[in-house]
Chain A
Amino acid sequence: MAGARDSLRVVGKALRKVDATAKVVGATKFADDVALPRMLYAKLLRSPHPHARILRIDTSRAVALAGVKAVLTGKDLPIPFGILPVSQDEHALALDKVRFVGDPVAAVAAGSEETATAALELIDVTYEALRPVTDAADAVAHPEPRIHDYGDGGNLHKLIDLEFGDVAEGFAEADLVREDLLFFEGSTHLPMEQHAAVADWSPPPDGKLTLWSSTQTPHYVHRALAKVLELSPAKIRVIATPNGGGFGGKSDPFSHEIVVAKLAMLTGRPVKITLTREEVFYCHRGRHPTLMWVKTGVKKDGAITAMHFKSLLDGGGYGSYGVASTYYTGALQTVTYHVPRYKFQGARAFTNKPPCGPKRGHGTPQPRFALEVHIDKIAEQLGMDPAELRLKHLVPPNSLTANWLRIGSMGLGPCIHKVVEGSGWKEKFRKLPPGKGIGLACSSYITGAGLAIYWNPMPHSGVQLKCDRGGGVTVFCGSTEIGQGSDSILAMIVAEVLGVDPFDIAIVTGDTDLTPVDLGSYSSRVTLMTGNAAIQAAERARDIIASHAARKLALPAERLAFAERRVFDVENPARGLTFAEAVQLAEAAEGTVGTVGSYTPPPSPGRYRGAGVGPSPAYSYSACVAEVDVDPATGIVRVPRIFIAHDVGRSINAATVMGQIEGSVYMGLGEALMEEMAYRGNRNVVHKIPSLLEYKSPTTLEMCDVVTYVVEDPDPNGPFGAKECGQGPLLPVPPAVANAVYDAVGVRIDEVPITPEKVFKALRRKAKGEAARYGPTAFPDIVWPEPTRVPPPWEGGDGKAAEGSGGRAKTVKVPV
């Protein structure tokens, strides 16, 4: 189906979201809005130590407190879990060791939150403090004491060394070889809704558990609950309530979800937990602080001859998505500008801080910041306009990259033209008065991961569809509405195919009892994957309905069109039936009209170890120009306006696309200027700022104006050509701001956030005749494994690693 644009009636329009009314009247039920009769309240006792052995826990005083119904410690939930099969390193409550300030140690269920809180004070824990590991460099320098007893040695969780072609040969061919060191500070998602969960247990013979939770990934929570509680998945129902913001922070199965489930099973009463804002900071799973070194060789015209990229990630206390995050810091350097030879070395360290994981852009905003600032410096050294340098060397559409990623549609060129023309780039770059600057950066992001976290041959997304004899349609899908508009995407796509109104469609999502599996709202996968599954289900329903309508109208089915709630002859539109009449004919003839659809991404051409991270059905592209005002007296950077162009393939809901792009720019601006997860390294690795007041995020007063251009370069793999738009437009914002600061005051801030202090220090250095720069100065020595050598496509490779390359023989499935 996926017809030509002019034939589309719903897709591409700016429509209200199907859940918009519920949200503006306050009727949407978030997890903390769920209240059940006889409900108990749970609280978690968290570690005050960053790294310590638990010698003894005495809960007797807490158990004795009036109103306390149950107390749990680690031994009650001894089975480990974790989002990735390769890092099942978490326990619902710490078993023998705590690994960060805030690590959950014990839990209480009581008749009120006040009683539960009071009971926490009565739990006596004896700790033996261990030396804490404060950051990634500290982890490299101190392999002992180990935070975990697995990983790639000492306190290094993961080491990666991948080589696509001979980079030394490439550097030798270059006219200019440049090296840079950059650092991207960690930041957190800060969803306005604190995580909450409610569990309900129906005792045997039912033996059935129901969990409502603010999760982006009900399918993975389902799996984790079954594993840790040793229940059949058939006895567990996970309902993902609409998330009050996710941004990746609600993508892991969490301690509190397992704890309330266990407490409900023990007490026979519903149990609720709502995390405090401080606890949300401890859940974290946010942006990895990442130190990066990049070396690139270029010809005089800016053509890249080779690139070598190293990253060191500060992972925090647990694995989370970290193995995938580490691969992502090296995966997408190749998808914007042609890189003929590429080498990537990545390391993730365990440290005694809240675990890092996937935040909007998952592992790619850091290297994109490094790469785009690096290229800005290269352009200046070559005396080239940075926009022209990029435009000259774009990766061609429908091509393979050095690391075997398959590029489909590629709209970066038009994106660059839009922001360059819109911003008046040519009249402003290097021509503005002192203190005023303009900077450009580009980026790309995946539209869903090509491989699932658990490798299996089953679809990544499923849709079930039921047509009612009254003309309504119900769509069932496991996808999770986190504010990005996924419910509306399903309604619009099904409405397009069946010719009904999106508001005729009921949407049932995120419920493991009712909906077919969708893997979750992460990796910008939902529109493409659920959209394709919805198209398949809707086309199957349309075919059933059309065959019976055709018989009634004595026409070939091919002559029927579905539009305006009618099924009619395309050559004589007056001749037709209502959609409801057509459904009734089908139902009378065949019984209930219901269909299914599903989607599995195409196989990836890369077949080396590590090729699981990076492949995607389609890549989105963005270009960004930032304007800045820098006050040299204070170092304060203000961003009055950002121009952003994004290649979304094709908009499904134009208004939602605008919202996602503007929201991405906002979050990128926060990371560029102010957001940081900071710790008191010299004072027990205590989180410096676990509050919304101290963790600075942009308010209305800091947010810039945004000029948005939507570029549509349809991708054959996307539903109606659609690609992602919820994460990609964040990526170019921090480097565009950094490049603009340089244009304004001539100092390089090779580190985000770009705080006034850093700008001020760099200006002072410049005034003293020192390097006009603020940023890291060294990359620690790491003993890398033997590289996995994979010849790029143009060197006759077949996507596999060369015989005998790669350090370790053990094969570990690499998840995404």
Chain B
Amino acid sequence: MDRIKITFPIMPDAKAKIALELNDEPVEVAFAPHKTLLEVLREDLALTGTKHGCELGECGTCAVLVDGRPVLSCLVLGLACAGHRVKTVEGMAEGGRLHPLQDAFAELGAAQCGYCTPAFLLAAEALLAANRRPTRDEIKQALAGNLCRCTGYIKIYEAVELAAARMRGERAVPSEESLYGRR
């Protein structure tokens, strides 16, 4: 994100065209140059899986991965992504199979309304790429920039822990207490 090259002047009505790697595929896209990555993804690439909650960088709902790191797509210009690797929720499932994080979120009910879910999934994916065995506190820290109003975050922590265990090759299952409460 530190290598923005914009050639001036840009005509206000002219579209800018960039090439980037989007969900592991090379993509070219043309858009009005003032647009944020969020707008380019949703409006010019029809990838509406990326959501928005404020478009001011406050809620984390629009997070995507740029070069493997979570960024708020509402604060990044589309132009700044030229030549970069961008990953959205649409790129998580592979070969018709859910990513272990997606699977665990669905299994535990970590997605209630589902609106903040894409961003949580990507932030968690970045965490697990860097730390295969995060503690509960490390999960909280990694997800502290994402707001969720439905879950109280608890099922989200549990889903990240479940997915992490499965990604390490363990045969993990949700705990009885997680699904049914304490007896």
Seen from chain A, the residues whose Cβ lies within 8 Å of a Cβ on chain B are: 14, 16-17, 19-30, 32-33, 35, 189-194, 242-247, 276-277, 422, 482-485, 651, 654-659, 661-663, 665-667, 669, 691-693, 697, 699-701, 703, 705-710
Seen from chain B, the residues whose Cβ lies within 8 Å of a Cβ on chain A are: 42-43, 46-56, 58-59, 61, 88-90, 92-93, 98, 102-103, 105-109, 111-118, 121, 139-141, 143-155, 157, 174, 178-183
B108 touches A655 (CB 8 A): yes
Q: Roughly how many angstroms separate A691 CA and B121 CA in the complex, as a whole number?
A: 24
Additional pairs, 17, CB under 8 Å, beyond known A189-B149, A692-B53:
A14-B179, A25-B92, A25-B102, A26-B49, A26-B117, A191-B113, A192-B149, A193-B53, A194-B52, A244-B114, A484-B112, A659-B150, A692-B54, A692-B58, A692-B147, A703-B154, A710-B180
Interface of A is mostly: loop
Please name 20 pairs of A and B residues whose Cβ atoms are closer than 8 Å in the assembled complex, sorted by A: A16-B107, A16-B109, A20-B105, A20-B109, A21-B98, A23-B113, A25-B90, A32-B48, A422-B182, A655-B108, A655-B109, A658-B181, A659-B112, A661-B181, A662-B152, A667-B152, A691-B58, A693-B56, A700-B139, A700-B141
B182 touches A277 (CB 8 A): no
Q: Roughly how many angstroms separate A247 CA and B152 CA in the complex, as a whole number?
A: 14
A192 touches B51 (CB 8 A): yes
Interface of B is mostly: loop
B152 touches A483 (CB 8 A): no
A700 touches B179 (CB 8 A): no
Instruction: Find A25's partner among B50, B93, B115 (CB 8 Å cutoff).
Output: B93
A700 touches B113 (CB 8 A): no
Q: A14-B180, A24-B111 are in contact. Are A192 and B98 (CB under 8 A)?
A: no
Q: A192-B148, A700-B144 are in contact. Are A277 and B115 (CB under 8 A)?
A: no
Q: What A residues does B115 contact at CB under 8 A?
A: 30, 191-193, 244-245, 483
Q: What A residues does B149 contact at CB under 8 A?
A: 189-192, 245, 247, 663, 666-667, 697
B112 touches A483 (CB 8 A): yes
Q: Roughly how many angstroms separate A485 CA and B181 CA in the complex, as a whole number?
A: 18
A578 to chain B, nearest CB (A): 27
B115 to chain A, nearest CB (A): 3
A551 to chain B, nearest CB (A): 42
Taking CB as reference atom, which chain A residue is nearest B142? A700
Q: What B residues does A662 contact at CB under 8 A?
A: 151-152, 154-155
B53 touches A243 (CB 8 A): no
Instruction: Find B49's partner among A25, A189, A190 (CB 8 Å cutoff).
Output: A25
Q: Roughly how many angstroms separate A17 CA and B153 CA in the complex, as a whole number?
A: 18
Q: Roughly how many angstroms separate A697 CA and B54 CA in the complex, as a whole number?
A: 14
B141 to chain A, nearest CB (A): 8
B7 to chain A, nearest CB (A): 22
Taking CB as reference atom, which chain A residue is nearest B183? A709
A10 to chain B, nearest CB (A): 15
Taking CB as reference atom, which chain A residue is nearest B47? A26
B108 touches A192 (CB 8 A): no
B113 touches A194 (CB 8 A): no
Q: Roughly how many angstroms separate A699 CA and B82 CA in the complex, as a whole number?
A: 33
Q: Roughly how many angstroms separate A30 CA and B113 CA in the complex, as a whole number?
A: 10
Q: Among the interface residues A28, A191, A654, which one has the most CB atoms of the partner chain B within 10 A?
A: A28
Q: Roughly how many angstroms separate A19 CA and B117 CA in the complex, as a whole number?
A: 13
B155 touches A23 (CB 8 A): no
Q: Roughly how many angstroms separate A706 CA and B152 CA in the complex, as a whole number?
A: 9
Taking CB as reference atom, which chain A residue is nearest B139? A700
